[in-house]
Chain A
Amino acid sequence: MNNGNILTVNNLKTYFQTEDGVVKAVDGITFELKKGETLGIVGESGSGKSVTNLSIMRLIPEPPGKIVDGEIIFDGKNIRQLSLEDVRKIRGKRIAMIFQDPMTSLNPFLRISTQLTEVTELHLNHTPEQAYQHAVKMLEMVGIPDAENRVDAYPHEFSGGMRQRVMIAMALSCEPELLIADEPTTALDVTIQAQILELIKDLREKLGTSVILITHDLGVVAGMTDKIIVMYAGKVFEQAPTKELFATPANPYTKGLLKSVPDPAHEAGTDLYQIPGLPPDVAHLPPGCPFAPRCEKVQGICRQDYPPFVQINENHWSLCHFAKETYQESLQEKEAKDGK
């Protein structure tokens, strides 16, 4: 019945009521995540990537937000239909989350040990003694030196990278089946980012956890994920296996994003490709394709009709009137590049 999928999200829609009108933060997202797989969700601010994941955890503040449609099937159960009590049993135990900012997501008044033991006492029925031992073990696992003595420290006594390790220890203490990491390294320096990504990779292999990695950094998803979803204005713009998405993107937005990252192989001094204009105001989307005002390939039809979600091949989809053409163009560009 769950055909190897740990998570299936079907046509998820999460809307927010604001003074400005209805903001369709997530508007019809569909994806599957297999056991042990890592999915990357890429997008700019306001594209709906975080709201997607808060929806999965049922953490959308209501009001103003509301999941208005769709299914979130986790291990055969539709999370949308569960009672809050049942959701709580899943949240933190079977699905865990790491947030962007390790400074604000730990309680500054509580010792690390208190925050770590709370989770396992609740979900695994640990005695305080067991929970404490488990906390030390988890801190060791995420590479905190001198864990036995550090476990009673307060969050401010740790550096940013160490705090993110504590967050990961907390998220993994019940050995969740699904780990959602929302921009886990954005607040960190590159050398620390490399440490944390390496840690997530190791633990994923050790524990067999499925991971959803949300980020705006295409470099981060390139090395970490099996498949990628590119979001724009609350929609999935493109969905493909990681290698294919980077090699032959079938959506002008994805192509633009890839080109606007400074490429180490290119000489400095050449102008960097830029996507013109601004990310859209989700409360006031234009008719037709939401990317049309910024798209360099825009045609008349793009401004009038909402684009179709075109299947390129078995696992590759793109939301564009000219998805197939864009894909062909990428194929040719790739051949030209490889031919050289």
Chain B
Amino acid sequence: MENNGENLISIQDLKVHYQVRAKSLIDRISGNDERKVVKAVDGVSLEIKKGETLGLVGESGCGKSTLGKAILRLTEPTDGKVIYNNKDLANLSNSQMRDQRKHLQMIFQDPYASLNPRMTVGQIIGEPIKTFGLSSGTVEEKVQELMETVGLSRRFIKRYPHEFSGGQRQRIGIARALAVNPEFIVADEPISALDVSIQAQIMNLMERLQNEKNLTYLFISHDLRAVRHVSDRVAVMYLGKIVELADSKEIYKEPLHPYSKALISAVPVPDPEIEATRERIILKGDVPSPINPPRGCRFHTRCPYVEPKCKMEEPKLVEIKPRHFVACSRISPEQPYIENAK
């Protein structure tokens, strides 16, 4: 869906830093208690447009889940703004924020851990309706309606989560998120824990609901194939920063940042003919620790195109092509391809 429309959420220079204590007890006792800071999200600016699906990809530890939670204030942001409806979510009081939660919901990765095992499906889905006093009819009617919307039989209303499969549990999670008629949903790895044949069902369900209810999604996943399928635009994150942002078609066809290139080329293609011939970019090493991220460009320790200046200055997100933003100091609108960079 092409959408140049208005912004629903505007994230400005959002930061989430965690304090971690020194490792050992001895260090703490001896006063060697240097507090370290994990910069999980370190200055992210993003606009999420009404009705779109923005995909957020990156490897574990890059801060993508933290970013998703910080938008909804499930994790307190350290700095920055999240503008929604002319309000800065990052600076609302708890009760004001609570009021906004009926517009902003979340779907979690693990359908086993995110449902209370002692509540029935009816109670789980009904709880937000009761909390926000939203239902016009009886809560049970509304719950049954929601269950049908997500493809669960209304007969299951008295059952407990353990009686359902992973895919069905994810449907319960989705129904719970929908119970308050939200506008915006953060879906944090909603299909990672599911079987292949079930992943397709959940992706299709989410797409159908988006069309029916005009939802906006932030779709967080490490599965680039899934993200490509559901997203209108995609943001690639590395060590707490957005390194590339573009339309989904564009970024998969022609990624510009060397990290996005490697990430996309690393995805195995289910076609033996292509697999046999294509060149894969293999990155060396692991993602560095976010406690002491590398100076300059954070990717420079693994980048095949690194040069001295990359270690000095931190590149900014620049519009290299129309609607295609990249943070890499070696490319520019005049010279968008790093292969040609001198």
Contact = CB atoms under 8 A, between A and B. Distances in A.
A79 to B, nearest CB: 30
A274 B280 contact: no
B286 A264 contact: no
A306 interface: no
Contact of B282 (A159, A160, A195, A274): A195
B229 interface: yes
Nearest to A253: B197
B228 A257 contact: no
Given A222-B269, A262-B226, A191 B197 contact: no
A108 interface: no
Contacts of A264: 225, 228, 252, 269
Nearest to B202: A274
Interface in B13-61: 59-60
Interface of B: 1, 59-60, 165, 167-168, 195-201, 203-204, 207, 222, 224-226, 228-232, 248-249, 252, 262-263, 265-276, 280, 282-283, 286-287
A273 interface: yes
User: Which interface class (under 10, 10 to 19, 20 to 34, 35 or more) fits A?
Assistant: 35 or more
A152 interface: no
B272 to A, nearest CB: 5
Contacts of B230: 268
Given A44-B197, A216-B195, A275-B200, A191 B283 contact: yes
B273 A261 contact: no
A267 B228 CA distance: 9
B266 A274 contact: no
Contacts of A327: none
A190 B222 contact: yes
A193 B266 contact: yes
A278 B270 contact: no
A45 interface: yes
Given A44-B196, A264-B252, A268-B231, A190 B267 contact: yes
Contact of B272 (A242, A267, A273): A242
B228 A268 contact: yes
Contact of B229 (A257, A268, A276, A279): A268
Interface in A189-213: 189-195, 197-198
A260 B225 CA distance: 11
Given A159-B286, A216-B195, A268-B230, A194 B270 contact: no
A118 interface: no
Contacts of A246: 270-273
Contacts of B226: 262
Nearest to B197: A275
A152 to B, nearest CB: 19
A274 B197 contact: yes
A190 B224 contact: yes
B199 A260 contact: yes
B195 A279 contact: yes
Contact of A191 (B248, B252, B263): B263
B59 A191 contact: yes
Interface of A: 44-45, 159-162, 189-195, 197-198, 216-220, 222-223, 242-243, 246, 256-258, 260-264, 267-269, 271-276, 278-279
Given A274-B197, A279-B195, 19 more contacts: A45-B195, A190-B224, A190-B263, A191-B282, A191-B283, A193-B266, A217-B268, A219-B268, A222-B268, A222-B271, A223-B268, A223-B272, A243-B272, A243-B273, A264-B269, A268-B230, A268-B248, A268-B249, A274-B200
A242 B272 CA distance: 7
B109 to A, nearest CB: 14
A309 to B, nearest CB: 22
A242 B196 CA distance: 19
A180 to B, nearest CB: 20
B191 to A, nearest CB: 11
B59 A190 contact: yes
B280 A194 contact: yes
Closest A-B pairs by Cβ, 8 of them: A219-B268, A223-B275, A262-B229, A194-B266, A189-B59, A260-B200, A274-B200, A218-B270
Contacts of B165: 278-279
Nearest to A185: B268
A279 B59 contact: no
Contact of B204 (A190, A191, A223, A274): A274
A256 B248 contact: no
Contacts of A258: 270
Nearest to A228: B272
A101 to B, nearest CB: 14
Nearest to B270: A218
A275 B199 CA distance: 10
A246 B195 CA distance: 19
Nearest to B167: A278
Question: Among the interface residues A161, A220, A223, A242, which one has the most CB atoms of the partner chain B within 10 A?
Answer: A223
19 contacts: A44-B195, A44-B196, A44-B197, A193-B266, A195-B283, A216-B195, A219-B225, A219-B269, A223-B276, A243-B272, A246-B270, A261-B196, A264-B225, A268-B232, A268-B248, A269-B1, A275-B201, A278-B165, A279-B195
Contact of B200 (A161, A193, A218, A273): A273
Nearest to B281: A194
Contact of B203 (A159, A195, A272): A272
Contacts of A223: 268-269, 272, 275-276
Contacts of B269: 219, 222-223, 264
Nearest to B165: A278
Contacts of B262: 191
Contacts of A279: 165, 195, 197-198
A143 to B, nearest CB: 9
A186 to B, nearest CB: 10
A275 B196 CA distance: 9
Nearest to B268: A219
